[in-house]
């Protein structure tokens, strides 16, 4: 059953990939290159087209148009069982009538591999579940099933491993442990992992590169740090963590730092971090980058005065403030509890400031709240 395409390997390339369901465009003219050997995450809210993209790569869904290449081999219309691609399904889809051993051996047997036993043992060792080989899937816990699903896929040494929300059904603690384990296994086996998730933390913990998807398109692609520190759209700024986005206009664009006027205050914005295409700008700053002091304290960097704390919640590692600004907007400020001073209280007048290098600028014509309602953190 092994043929030429099964041995295809190399970068995964999606060209103008489109999938329509009736009038609904699930995946919209997607172009993407995923380098061989990388841990790649497709991140987005439910319904953004990430799972459909994954299913097209697996061969479970046929694209409406566009093509999929693995290395130089066109696999767009190849049958799923002829692709060197394996999937870890959401809810695992282990075969309930087969033992764990036979589940893991399934792919090897279909391909007529010789040393099934040795390879199954090795895969079970990798996920540390050799002692469960003779059990049935329903006798395993969720975390164990998850690892077997992973072993069942990687035992085939595919060119590409697809993970469809693989940790979604696990509880928080197990999820954290599995994130680290998955990352370790990926480094160990060196297979390209394409990971679909709506959990930004999961994507950031594991992936080398993240593509943030929204409404069938890729909003932005890059390393986790790159996406977080320098988002290009309000969707990315809000979906990956939390952001304060303030409307302003660029009044001086001549220097390395552009000068932005927000409600009468001049703020410095590094030119390289400005993604606005005209003078209308959404000025962004992450809550944990902001320093907060009682009004009247002298501060450096970008300074905003006249704020009043409207809410303060102490959450141990930090205190989270809502600060109402003179123009009515509430800004979020996360302050580390590391200086021994008692936290500020609701109603206190404050001055806030941050280093100009943390400022980012987004095109001013976007919805400042895009992506925040889809962010699982704010649920």
Partner 1 sequence: MSTALLHTGTHEKKTVLSKKKLLPYWLLAPGIIWLVIFFLVPIYQLISTSTQTQGYGIGTYVQTYRFANFIDAITSSKAQLIRSFEYAFLATLFALIISYPLAYAVAFKSGRWKNTLLVLIVAPFFCSFLLRTVAWEQILGEQGLVIKVLRFAHILGAQDHLTATPFAVVAGLTYNFLPFMTLPLYASLERIDIRMMEASGDLYANALTTFRKVTVPLSMPGVVAGTLLTFIPAAGDYINAELLGNPGTKMIGNVIEARYLEIVDYPGAAALSLILMVTILVLVMAYVKRAGTEELV
Residues in contact with partner 1 by CB under 8 A are 1, 6, 58-60, 79-82, 85-87, 89, 91, 93-98, 106-107, 110-111, 152-153, 156
Which of 143, 158, 156, 140 lies closest to 75 in space, CA to CA?
158
DSSP assignments along 101-169, one per residue: HHHHHHHHHHTT-S-HHHHHHHHHHHTT-GGGTTS-GGGS-HHHHHHHHHHHHHTT--SEEEEESTTTT
Q: Provide, rounded to whole angstroms, the least separation between the CB of residue 82 and partner 1.
A: 8
Which of 76, 332, 366 lies closest to 219 in space, CA to CA?
366
Q: Provide, rounded to whole angstroms, the least separation between the CB of residue 86 and partner 1.
A: 6
Nearer to partner 1, 85 or 304 (CB): 85
Q: Provide, rounded to whole angstroms, the least separation between the CB of residue 265 and partner 1.
A: 55
Going by C-beta distance under 8 Å and a sequence separation of 6 or more, which residues neighbour residue 141?
A: none
Nearer to partner 1, 106 or 321 (CB): 106
Structure-token pair, residue 51: 């799972």
Instruction: Determine how β-strand 360-363 pairs with β-strand 349-354.
Output: unpaired
Q: Provide, rounded to whole angstroms, the least separation between the CB of residue 60 and partner 1.
A: 5
Alpha-carbon Rg for the chain in angstroms: 24
Nearer to partner 1, 93 or 357 (CB): 93
Q: Provide, rounded to whole angstroms, the least separation between the CB of residue 161 and partner 1.
A: 11
Nearer to partner 1, 132 or 370 (CB): 132
Nearer to partner 1, 70 or 204 (CB): 70
Q: Provide, rounded to whole angstroms, the least separation between the CB of residue 169 and partner 1.
A: 13
Nearer to partner 1, 98 or 308 (CB): 98
DSSP assignments along 210-270, one per residue: EEEEETTEEEEEE-HHHHHHS-SSHHHHHHSS--EEEEEEEEE-SSSEEEEEETTEEEEEE
Q: Provide, rounded to whole angstroms, the least separation between the CB of residue 184 and partner 1.
A: 24
Nearer to partner 1, 1 or 315 (CB): 1
H or E element, residue 336? strand 330-336
């Amino acid at each position: 059953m092994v043929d030429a395409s099964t041995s295809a390997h190399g970068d995964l390339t999606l060209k103008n990939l489109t999938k329509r369901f009736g009038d609904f465009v699930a995946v919209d003219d997607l172009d993407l290159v995923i380098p061989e050997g990388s841990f790649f995450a497709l991140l987005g809210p439910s319904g953004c087209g990430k799972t459909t993209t994954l299913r097209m790569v697996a061969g479970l869904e046929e694209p409406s148009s566009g093509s999929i290449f693995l290395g130089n081999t066109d696999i767009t219309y190849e049958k799923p069982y002829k692709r060197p691609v394996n999937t870890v399904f959401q809810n695992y889809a282990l075969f309930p009538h087969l033992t764990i051993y036979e589940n893991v051996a399934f792919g090897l047997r279909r391909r007529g591999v010789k040393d099934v036993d040795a390879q199954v043992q090795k895969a079970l060792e990798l996920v540390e579940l050799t002692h469960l080989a003779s059990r049935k899937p329903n006798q395993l816990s969720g975390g164990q099933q998850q690892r077997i699903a992973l072993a069942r896929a990687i035992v085939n040494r595919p060119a590409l491993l697809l993970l469809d929300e693989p940790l979604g059904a696990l509880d928080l603690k197990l999820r954290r442990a599995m994130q680290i384990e998955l990352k370790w296994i990926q480094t160990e086996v060196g297979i390209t992992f394409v990971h679909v998730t709506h959990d930004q933390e999961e994507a950031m913990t594991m992936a080398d590169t993240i593509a943030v998807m929204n409404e069938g398109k890729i909003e932005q692609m890059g390393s986790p740090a790159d996406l977080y520190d320098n988002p290009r759209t309000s969707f990315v700024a809000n979906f990956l963590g939390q952001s304060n986005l303030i409307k302003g206009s660029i009044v001086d664009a001549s220097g390395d730092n552009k000068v932005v006027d927000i409600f009468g205050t001049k703020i410095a914005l590094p030119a390289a971090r400005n993604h606005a295409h005209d003078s209308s700008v959404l000025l962004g700053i992450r809550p944990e980058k902001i320093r907060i002091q009682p009004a009247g304290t002298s501060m450096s960097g970008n300074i905003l005065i006249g704020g009043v704390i409207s809410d303060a919640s102490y959450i141990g590692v930090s205190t989270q403030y809502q600060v109402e600004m003179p123009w009515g907007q509430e800004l979020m400020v996360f302050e580390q509890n590391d200086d021994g001073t008692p936290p500020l209280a609701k109603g206190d007048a404050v001055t806030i400031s941050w280093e100009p290098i943390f400022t980012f600028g987004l095109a001013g014509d976007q919805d400042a709240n895009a992506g925040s309602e889809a962010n699982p953190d704010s649920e």
